[in-house]
Amino acid sequence: MGALHLGLLLFSFIITAILAVPFIDLLYKAHFLRQKQKTLDFQEKRTPIFDKFHKSKAGTPVGGGLLIIVVVTILYFVVFPALKIANIPISANYPIAKEVFIIFFIFISFGILGLYDDVLKFFGFKKTGFFGLRMRHKFILQWLIAIIASFLIYFNLGINFTYLPIIGPIRLGLAAIPFFALLIVTFANAYNITDGLDGLASGLLMIYLFAFWFMSNTSLDTPIAIFLALWIGTLIAFLYFNVNPARIMLGDVGALSFGATLATIAILLGKIVPLIIIGFFFLVEMGSSLIQILSKKYLGKKVFPAAPIHLTLQKKGWEEPKIVMRAWLAGIILAVFGLWLGLL
């Protein structure tokens, strides 16, 4: 199966690479572009530090996540039935249809929520009140989707535990539902916050997915392994156009979907501890933003020059590619550490 999965990765890479340039041109024609900061409403205003280092990104097409979601979804539902027809052995830890439904429910639902926000943001509908949602409303919708998925994970797949390295499985009971939902919402927003520099979030995700791909193969979970192979292939092709200076950005459509799906994959594989280790950089980015918000609200002062933490590094004089490359190196070490724990 290893050769087959590598072939699927290459296949999805080629398909995405072919579609990327026409898709970028389409985004230009649709004016689906990153706006200048002065055109954004209150919720989208940034710090002066953000304006200083990111004003050159205005006019860059946004929405690369949509291409990845569409390509992965179509290829999966073409490839997977073909494997069955070809009588290629398929192993799974849970009922295949139910497992696949949960993965794509999160993958697509969070993508739609992110796309909705992108459309309002880039076409100025937030200013006119065109079905606009406040931040708390979008957060509630995230929780609703995550709870539905967690409910299905608990009742349809019977997953009510988490596995601790060396110790073994720990039963969570009904507490698994809110716990799983918390992980999904946390990583959706953590990834979204991290997606602020060219190639940063996408490169880290590519590294992390390789670790989970290896774990899915050791767990003999073919549906997840195939999904990750296709996802990694599309992501590598996207990253070619996303590295500095980026020709295309993920947008919320990709950022929310990818963070939530990463957490879901970890839950299905029983690898929550490796998820926290591997995704630690995402959590640091979100944590720095949360600390900054709470400090300004309750203490009246800032802890960091800017948040998330990659903006502080820019303030200190680090160039964007330097931050991204060093983050990737840190991501590799975290991925190896998390993979090691996941295999214990």
Helix H, strand E, coil C: the string for 120-169 is HHHCCHHHHCCCCCCHHHHHHHHHHHHHHHHHHHHHCCCCCEEEECCCEE
Burial class (CB in 10 A: 0-12, 13-18, 19+), 321: middle
Q: Please give the Cα distance from 193 to 308 (Å, whole number).
A: 7
| pLDDT of res. 128 | 42
Say which residue the tokens 């041109």 belong to.
25
Contact status, residue 102 vs residue 224, Cβ threshold 8 Å: no
Query: For residue range 106-146, what is the model confidence (pLDDT) as tens digits?
Result: 999 999 999 998 888 776 555 444 445 667 778 899 999 99
Strands 168-171, 161-164: pairing kind: antiparallel
Beta strands in 12-53 (DSSP E): none
What's the pLDDT at 169? 83
How many whole angstroms separate alpha carbon 76 and alpha carbon 99?
A: 13
Token readout for 162 is: 């988490």
Upper half-sphere CA count for residue 194 (Cβ side, 13 Å): 32
- Round the average pLDDT of the chain to a whole number and report it: 89
**Rg, C-alpha atoms of the chain:** 20
| 3-class state of residue 249 by DSSP | strand
- Fill in the amino acid letter for 192: N
Rounded Cα distance between 233 and 179, Å, is 30
Under 8 Å CB-to-CB from 15, ≥6 apart: which residues?
71, 75, 233, 234
Residue pair 265/217 in contact by the 8 Å Cβ criterion = no
Residue 307, judged by CB atoms within 10 A of its CB (0-12, 13-18, 19+), counts as buried
pLDDT mean over 159-169: 84
The predicted model gives 267-275 an average pLDDT of 94
pLDDT exceeds cutoff 80 at 235: yes
CA separation for the pair 20, 248 (Å, rounded): 9
Interatomic CA distance for residues 331 and 254, integer angstroms: 20
| Predicted local distance difference test score (pLDDT) of residue 133 | 60
How many domains does the chain divide into? Answer: 1
Rounded to whole angstroms, the Cα distance separating 332 from 254 reads 22
Asked whether the predicted pLDDT for residue 82 surpasses 50, the reply is: yes
Question: What pLDDT band is residue 53 in, cutting at 50, 70 and 90?
Answer: low
| In 171-251, alpha helices (H) | 176-194, 200-218, 222-242
- The residue range of the domain holding 47 is 2-342
Instruction: Give the model's pLDDT for residue 42.
Output: 32
